[in-house]
Amino acid sequence: MIRSQLRKTATATVTATSWDEAHYDAPEGAPALAQAEFPLSYTGDLVGESRTRMLLVYTGGDPAEPASLVSDYVGYERITGTLEGRSGSFVVTLEGRHESGVARTTGRIVADSATGELVGLHGELEAAATDMTYEVTLSYAFEPDPAVH
C-alpha cells in the first residue's frame, strides 16, 4: 500500500506551562538579546508535549508591559506525541515576530527529524499567540515508505 502525499491540516490548542527567559546581552541604548526556554502541551489533532528554546531580540516596548514588547525570534522545538494515531517525535525550526500583543510564528518540520511512527513527516506550522494558550495549525504529509515500493 502506498501512503498518500496529499497535504493534511491538523489543529491543536497549545498551552505554555512556564516561561524562563534571561537577557544575555543588553547594552544601554541598544536592542536587548535574550534566550527563553519553555515547555508546551498540545491537545487536539496533535496530542503531546514539547520543549522549546528561542533566541529573541527586543527592539521596542516596555518590559513592565509585556504586550507592548516588540521582538523578533528564532528557535527550535521538539514535539513528542501522537498525530493521526502515530506516535513519535519531530523537531520544528521556528521564527516569528511579537508586536501589538501578538506573537506570530511560522515553523518548518526539520527534514529527517521525525522518529517512531512519525518517520517521513514533513510540513509547516503557523500560530498567532496573544496569551499562554493559543491555536496552532500544522500543514503536513508523510513521505512514502520506500519499503512498500
Where are the chain's structural domains?
8-148
Q: How far is CA 129 from the centre of its chain?
A: 11
What local confidence, expressed as pLDDT, does residue 1 receive?
Answer: 35
∠ CA 91-97-98, nearest 5°, is: 115
Mean local confidence (pLDDT), 144-148: 56
Q: Which of 86, 89, 24 is nearest to 51 (CA)?
A: 89
Q: Which CATH number fits domain 8-148: 3.30.2010.10, 3.40.50.10300, 2.40.350.10, 3.20.80.10?
A: 2.40.350.10
pLDDT in tens, 74-91: 999 999 999 999 999 999
- Sorting pLDDT into bands at 50, 70 and 90, what band is 149? very low
Q: What does the alpha-carbon distance between residue 32 and residue 23 come to, in Å, rounded to a whole number?
A: 7
Mean pLDDT of the residues in the chain: 93
Phi and psi (nearest 5°) for 116?
A: 60, -140
Q: What does the alpha-carbon distance between residue 82 and residue 101 come to, in Å, rounded to a whole number?
A: 31
What local confidence, expressed as pLDDT, does residue 3 receive?
Answer: 45
What local confidence, expressed as pLDDT, does residue 38 receive?
Answer: 96
Whole-prediction pTM: 0.90
pLDDT in tens, 2-24: 445 689 999 999 999 999 999 99
- Sorting pLDDT into bands at 50, 70 and 90, what band is 63? confident
pLDDT in tens, 104-128: 999 999 999 999 999 999 999 999 9
